[in-house]
Protein backbone atom coordinates (compact mmCIF):
# COMPACT_ATOMS: atom_id res chain seq x y z
CA UNK A 1 0.00 0.00 0.00
CA UNK A 2 0.94 3.60 -0.31
CA UNK A 3 2.23 5.81 2.48
CA UNK A 4 -1.18 7.32 3.12
CA UNK A 5 -3.01 4.04 3.48
CA UNK A 6 -1.59 1.11 5.36
CA UNK A 7 1.18 2.61 7.56
CA UNK A 8 0.89 6.37 7.80
CA UNK A 9 -2.66 7.38 6.95
CA UNK A 10 -5.24 8.44 9.52
CA UNK A 11 -6.37 4.85 10.03
CA UNK A 12 -3.14 3.02 9.25
CA UNK A 13 -1.27 0.71 11.63
CA UNK A 14 1.50 3.22 12.35
CA UNK A 15 -0.99 5.95 13.25
CA UNK A 16 -2.88 3.60 15.58
CA UNK A 17 0.39 2.45 17.11
CA UNK A 18 1.47 6.07 17.71
CA UNK A 19 -1.83 6.90 19.37
CA UNK A 20 -1.51 3.80 21.55
CA UNK A 21 2.00 4.83 22.63
CA UNK A 22 0.78 8.32 23.54
CA UNK A 23 -2.11 6.88 25.58
CA UNK A 24 0.24 4.48 27.39
CA UNK A 25 2.64 7.30 28.19
CA UNK A 26 -0.19 9.43 29.58
CA UNK A 27 -1.52 6.50 31.63
CA UNK A 28 1.94 5.70 33.03
CA UNK A 29 2.73 9.30 34.00
CA UNK A 30 0.96 9.32 37.42
CA UNK A 31 2.71 6.10 38.44
CA UNK A 32 6.09 7.46 37.36
CA UNK A 33 5.51 10.72 39.24
CA UNK A 34 4.48 8.78 42.34
CA UNK A 35 7.69 6.72 42.23
CA UNK A 36 9.82 9.83 41.76
CA UNK A 37 8.03 11.70 44.56
CA UNK A 38 8.36 8.77 46.97
CA UNK A 39 12.12 8.82 46.52
CA UNK A 40 12.49 12.53 47.22
CA UNK A 41 13.01 13.62 50.83
CA UNK A 42 9.76 14.75 52.40
CA UNK A 43 9.55 18.19 53.97
CA UNK A 44 8.39 16.39 57.09
CA UNK A 45 11.33 14.00 57.25
CA UNK A 46 14.27 14.76 59.40
CA UNK A 47 14.63 14.99 63.11
CA UNK A 48 11.29 14.10 64.68
CA UNK A 49 10.18 15.04 68.16
CA UNK A 50 11.60 12.63 70.74
CA UNK A 51 15.05 12.34 69.15
CA UNK A 52 18.17 14.15 70.25
CA UNK A 53 19.60 17.12 68.40
CA UNK A 54 22.72 15.76 66.67
CA UNK A 55 26.09 17.02 67.79
CA UNK A 56 27.32 19.10 64.86
CA UNK A 57 30.00 21.70 64.42
CA UNK A 58 28.64 25.10 63.41
CA UNK A 59 30.39 28.41 62.84
CA UNK A 60 29.18 31.84 63.92
CA UNK A 61 29.16 34.70 61.43
CA UNK A 62 32.23 36.04 63.28
CA UNK A 63 34.13 32.79 62.67
CA UNK A 64 33.86 31.13 66.10
CA UNK A 65 33.13 27.39 66.12
CA UNK A 66 30.29 26.03 68.25
CA UNK A 67 29.15 22.45 68.89
CA UNK A 68 25.40 21.99 69.17
CA UNK A 69 25.93 19.90 72.33
CA UNK A 70 27.19 23.08 74.02
CA UNK A 71 23.60 24.37 73.86
CA UNK A 72 22.50 21.85 76.48
CA UNK A 73 21.52 23.21 79.86
CA UNK A 74 18.73 25.54 78.76
CA UNK A 75 15.84 25.31 76.30
CA UNK A 76 16.84 26.15 72.77
CA UNK A 77 14.84 27.08 69.71
CA UNK A 78 16.84 26.04 66.64
CA UNK A 79 15.57 27.71 63.48
CA UNK A 80 16.72 26.52 60.06
CA UNK A 81 16.45 29.31 57.51
CA UNK A 82 17.66 30.47 54.11
CA UNK A 83 18.71 34.06 53.44
CA UNK A 84 16.42 35.71 50.93
CA UNK A 85 13.48 33.46 51.86
CA UNK A 86 10.59 35.81 52.65
CA UNK A 87 8.92 33.35 55.04
CA UNK A 88 12.23 32.82 56.86
CA UNK A 89 12.89 36.53 57.19
CA UNK A 90 9.38 37.14 58.51
CA UNK A 91 9.77 34.28 61.00
CA UNK A 92 13.11 35.70 62.16
CA UNK A 93 11.53 39.16 62.57
CA UNK A 94 8.81 37.57 64.76
CA UNK A 95 11.44 35.82 66.88
CA UNK A 96 13.54 38.99 67.22
CA UNK A 97 10.49 40.84 68.52
CA UNK A 98 9.63 38.01 70.93
CA UNK A 99 13.19 37.41 72.19
CA UNK A 100 13.01 39.88 75.13
CA UNK A 101 9.87 38.12 76.43
CA UNK A 102 11.51 34.69 76.28
CA UNK A 103 14.65 35.33 78.32
CA UNK A 104 15.30 31.73 79.49
CA UNK A 105 15.17 30.60 75.89
CA UNK A 106 18.20 30.40 73.59
CA UNK A 107 17.36 31.11 69.97
CA UNK A 108 19.85 29.77 67.44
CA UNK A 109 19.37 30.62 63.76
CA UNK A 110 21.09 28.06 61.52
CA UNK A 111 21.55 28.95 57.86
CA UNK A 112 21.00 26.12 55.41
CA UNK A 113 23.54 27.80 53.13
CA UNK A 114 27.29 27.65 53.78
CA UNK A 115 27.49 31.44 53.92
CA UNK A 116 24.97 34.02 55.04
CA UNK A 117 24.86 37.79 55.31
CA UNK A 118 21.65 38.07 57.37
CA UNK A 119 21.66 41.10 59.67
CA UNK A 120 19.76 40.46 62.90
CA UNK A 121 20.13 40.65 66.66
CA UNK A 122 19.84 36.89 67.17
CA UNK A 123 22.88 34.61 66.88
CA UNK A 124 23.34 33.19 63.38
CA UNK A 125 25.23 29.95 62.81
CA UNK A 126 26.56 28.58 59.55
CA UNK A 127 26.87 24.92 58.62
CA UNK A 128 29.97 25.03 56.39
CA UNK A 129 30.22 21.27 55.90
CA UNK A 130 26.48 20.71 55.50
CA UNK A 131 26.58 18.05 58.23
CA UNK A 132 23.76 19.52 60.30
CA UNK A 133 21.52 20.01 57.29
CA UNK A 134 22.17 16.44 56.06
CA UNK A 135 21.17 15.13 59.45
CA UNK A 136 17.95 17.10 59.49
CA UNK A 137 17.02 16.17 55.88
CA UNK A 138 14.81 19.23 55.53
CA UNK A 139 13.92 20.80 52.21
CA UNK A 140 11.42 23.41 53.27
CA UNK A 141 12.33 26.33 55.52
CA UNK A 142 11.79 27.84 58.02
CA UNK A 143 11.92 24.89 60.41
CA UNK A 144 11.72 25.33 64.18
CA UNK A 145 13.10 22.71 66.56
CA UNK A 146 12.24 23.16 70.22
CA UNK A 147 15.06 21.43 72.11
CA UNK A 148 14.89 20.62 75.83
CA UNK A 149 17.77 21.47 78.18
CA UNK A 150 18.82 17.81 77.90
CA UNK A 151 19.11 18.06 74.09
CA UNK A 152 15.93 16.17 73.18
CA UNK A 153 13.73 17.63 70.44
CA UNK A 154 10.30 18.18 71.91
CA UNK A 155 8.53 19.96 69.06
CA UNK A 156 9.07 20.46 65.32
CA UNK A 157 7.31 22.95 63.08
CA UNK A 158 7.81 23.72 59.40
CA UNK A 159 6.64 26.92 57.76
CA UNK A 160 5.72 30.45 58.71
CA UNK A 161 3.13 31.39 61.32
CA UNK A 162 1.77 34.79 62.31
CA UNK A 163 3.33 36.84 65.09
CA UNK A 164 0.42 35.98 67.41
CA UNK A 165 0.77 32.25 66.67
CA UNK A 166 4.53 32.42 67.31
CA UNK A 167 4.00 34.29 70.58
CA UNK A 168 1.39 31.81 71.80
CA UNK A 169 3.57 28.85 70.80
CA UNK A 170 6.70 30.18 72.51
CA UNK A 171 4.79 30.89 75.73
CA UNK A 172 3.25 27.39 75.69
CA UNK A 173 6.65 25.84 75.06
CA UNK A 174 8.24 27.83 77.88
CA UNK A 175 5.45 26.67 80.18
CA UNK A 176 6.26 23.07 79.25
CA UNK A 177 3.27 22.27 77.05
CA UNK A 178 4.74 21.75 73.57
CA UNK A 179 1.52 20.65 71.84
CA UNK A 180 -0.06 23.64 70.06
Measured CA to CA, the distance from residue 67 to residue 69 in angstroms comes to 5
Residue 65: pLDDT band (50, 70, 90) is very high
Q: Please tell me the predicted confidence (pLDDT) of residue 95.
A: 92
Measured CA to CA, the distance from residue 7 to residue 5 in angstroms comes to 6
Query: Of all residues in the chain, what percent carry a pLDDT higher than 90?
Result: 22
Q: Give the DSSP letter of residue 6.
A: I
CB atoms within 10 A of CB 117: 10
CB atoms within 10 A of CB 99: 17
Q: Which of 47, 122, 115, 109 is nearest to 78 (CA)?
A: 109
> Strand, helix or coil at 106?
strand
User: Rg of the Cα trace of the chain?
Assistant: 25
0.85 surpassed by pTM:
no
Question: Residue range 51-63: average pLDDT?
Answer: 90
Q: Please tell me the predicted confidence (pLDDT) of residue 118.
A: 80
Measured CA to CA, the distance from residue 4 to residue 150 in angstroms comes to 78
Question: Residue range 129-138: average pLDDT?
Answer: 80
Amino acid sequence: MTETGYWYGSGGKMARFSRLLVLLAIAAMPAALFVIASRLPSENRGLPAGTYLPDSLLVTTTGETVRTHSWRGRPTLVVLFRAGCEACEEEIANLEALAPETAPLRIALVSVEPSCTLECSLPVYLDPTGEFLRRTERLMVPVLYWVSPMGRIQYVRTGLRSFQEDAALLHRLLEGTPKP
